[in-house]
A and B are shown apart, each in its own frame.
Chain A
């Protein structure tokens, strides 16, 4: 009986599922078993370990991979958090960008802190939500997109990751945006708490989705850019 109890509480399934969900974006990104990827950022070891079964080779940032050798470069966690200034970040990204094959992609995940970065960005935009020329607030979604643009990436797109960037269950296109009904459906699928308070909160979030505000308020994002062919 004791052994049965122990077997019944084995944690292997949950931990395996958690490892698999770390790389669930591989389908949407089109990762293939022939790809050579770079894993860098806040938890690069864990990211490298979870990517390893799906790709041919996983490299780390140090020592730098050779030029034109990578299909994908992943930066997990906030890129600027690890560097003192924008110059350092740009140097790292340019070095990585040079290591990408033409047509290869660079992907970065970032925390949005439920919109704090977007709110910080307000002062850099006009009342009509047009850029004023002031640089975007560091760490935010706009900063990441503009940084990718500065290192030479094109076809830049962004996705919201829910509930976390580490093991996202929902990946929602934000830029270019998907319909509000799709966002509401994804939020409902991910946040399944069945209490009246949660139901009211989901309704409130639904209103934000319909107003077009919610796409700035997701807790985590994935930003991807392509190296021109």
Chain B
């Protein structure tokens, strides 16, 4: 091993007395935050003993620090501690900050999806949704309260205003459609749960030990967690990621355009029971086409903002899915909406 300092520090965090017992395998993230990830393996163990993250670019250090802080505090909650790999140690080495987490058993849902041979895509995604339901309800129940639809509409507008102020010449059509859907949400008349969200709840970040209902499940990548957000954003994030799973290039954009139709069966498995568990009343109302579409726009606006925030700089827009998708959709069909609430101007 060449970087003896790194090897020694990680071996210490992994509880090994001799650094040479540890094999560090590097897997760089291709994500926009660009973390370098090391998996620390010990001979004859079925999964990595530790996972080490360090920022590829020191300017993006904050995302990993944020995840460290979130995991450290969430592990203190006994109700969800078992879902989160423990934060073991953090140290500086040759100018970089390293964060060491406990290795988790199992594989990500995405890994299971791409290595399937005989199972159909639809059947597998529905099984993922069923597994995801139990986990996300556990996370959301730790901190949740019912809020009126006006607060959900304000959340949509907050993301929309951020996009408008951050992107030069933000398309007018997207602004208009976003405001129209905010109005539609505001006039819904039923509450929705608001509280703790994972922030990036998707098949990429759910580790499972199997496909059955008794499989062990862990959630990773907590850097986007927030204590106070509309919690349906997590559900839509999962469903949306499932629809786009394995899609690249033009197929991805096409799948985005068809998302509402393709997501119908997943929403039945995930959103409907989730609303039944966490929503005080009117769960069925939110599944009506008009309101469901408004909830989708809320999620897409939120995802477009998140996508831009994760870029290395404000000029970096390539590989974006949500914002170009929103542009295309708002150009295609701006819904004929009318102002139903005086709180939100059209």
B26 touches A10 (CB 8 A): no
300-324 of chain B: CB within 8 A of chain A: 311-313, 315-320, 323-324
Q: A4-B170, A28-B26, A170-B28 are in contact. Are A20 and B57 (CB under 8 A)?
A: yes
237-291 of chain B: CB within 8 A of chain A: 245-246
Query: Does residue B167 face the partner (Cβ distance < 8 Å to A)?
Result: yes
A8 touches B324 (CB 8 A): yes
B34 touches A20 (CB 8 A): yes
Cβ–Cβ < 8 Å partners of A171 in chain B: 25-26
B318 touches A29 (CB 8 A): no
Q: A30-B94, A172-B25 are in contact. Are A182 and B48 (CB under 8 A)?
A: yes
Instruction: Determine the residue in chain B with the shortest Cβ distance to A17.
Output: B34
Query: Does residue A14 face the partner (Cβ distance < 8 Å to B)?
Result: yes
Cβ–Cβ < 8 Å partners of A157 in chain B: 1-2
Query: Does residue B160 face the partner (Cβ distance < 8 Å to A)?
Result: no
Query: Does residue A129 face the partner (Cβ distance < 8 Å to B)?
Result: no
B1 touches A27 (CB 8 A): no
User: CA A190 – CA B327 in complex, angstroms?
Assistant: 32
Cβ–Cβ < 8 Å partners of A5 in chain B: 327
B37-45, B130-138, B192-200: which lies at the A interface? B37-45
36-83 of chain B: CB within 8 A of chain A: 36, 38-39, 41-48, 54, 56-57
1-58 of chain A: CB within 8 A of chain B: 1, 3-5, 7-14, 16-17, 20-21, 24-25, 27-33
Query: Does residue B342 face the partner (Cβ distance < 8 Å to A)?
Result: no
26 CB contacts below 8 A, A to B, read: A4-B171, A5-B327, A8-B324, A9-B318, A10-B316, A12-B315, A12-B316, A13-B311, A13-B312, A17-B312, A21-B28, A24-B26, A30-B4, A30-B6, A30-B94, A31-B94, A170-B26, A173-B24, A173-B25, A179-B43, A182-B39, A185-B27, A185-B39, A186-B25, A194-B245, A199-B116
B312 touches A178 (CB 8 A): no
Question: Number of residues in B with C-beta < 8 Å to the partner?
Answer: 60
Given contacts A28-B6, A178-B41, 10 further A-B contacts (CB under 8 A): A1-B169, A10-B317, A13-B316, A17-B34, A27-B54, A31-B94, A32-B95, A192-B114, A199-B114, A203-B117
Query: Does residue B96 face the partner (Cβ distance < 8 Å to A)?
Result: yes
Query: Does residue B111 face the partner (Cβ distance < 8 Å to A)?
Result: yes
Q: A9-B318, A10-B317, A33-B95 are in contact. Are A179 and B41 (CB under 8 A)?
A: yes
Chain A proximity of B45: nearest CB distance (Å): 7
B2 touches A181 (CB 8 A): no
Query: Does residue A198 face the partner (Cβ distance < 8 Å to B)?
Result: yes
User: CA A5 – CA B107 in complex, angstroms?
Assistant: 38
Query: Does residue B168 face the partner (Cβ distance < 8 Å to A)?
Result: yes
Query: Does residue B88 face the partner (Cβ distance < 8 Å to A)?
Result: no
Query: Does residue A142 face the partner (Cβ distance < 8 Å to B)?
Result: no
Cβ–Cβ < 8 Å partners of B23 in chain A: 173, 178-179, 182
A residues bordering B, Cβ < 8 Å?
A: 1, 3-5, 7-14, 16-17, 20-21, 24-25, 27-33, 105, 157, 168-173, 178-179, 181-183, 185-186, 188-190, 192-194, 196, 198-200, 202-203, 224
Cβ–Cβ < 8 Å partners of A185 in chain B: 25, 27, 39, 48
Query: Does residue B30 face the partner (Cβ distance < 8 Å to A)?
Result: yes
Query: Does residue B17 face the partner (Cβ distance < 8 Å to A)?
Result: no
Query: Does residue B5 face the partner (Cβ distance < 8 Å to A)?
Result: yes
User: CA A194 – CA B28 in complex, angstroms?
Assistant: 19
A27 touches B3 (CB 8 A): yes
Q: A33-B95, A188-B115, A194-B245 are in contact. Are A10 and B27 (CB under 8 A)?
A: no
User: CA A32 – CA B93 in complex, angstroms?
Assistant: 9
User: CA A157 – CA B23 in complex, angstroms?
Assistant: 13
Q: Which of B3, B30, B315 contacts A169 (CB 8 A)?
A: B30
Query: Does residue B344 face the partner (Cβ distance < 8 Å to A)?
Result: no
A193 touches B311 (CB 8 A): no
User: CA A198 – CA B49 in complex, angstroms?
Assistant: 28
A181 touches B47 (CB 8 A): yes
A1 touches B171 (CB 8 A): yes
Instruction: Determine the residue in chain B with the shortest Cβ distance to A202.
Output: B115
Most buried by A among B2, B3, B113: B2
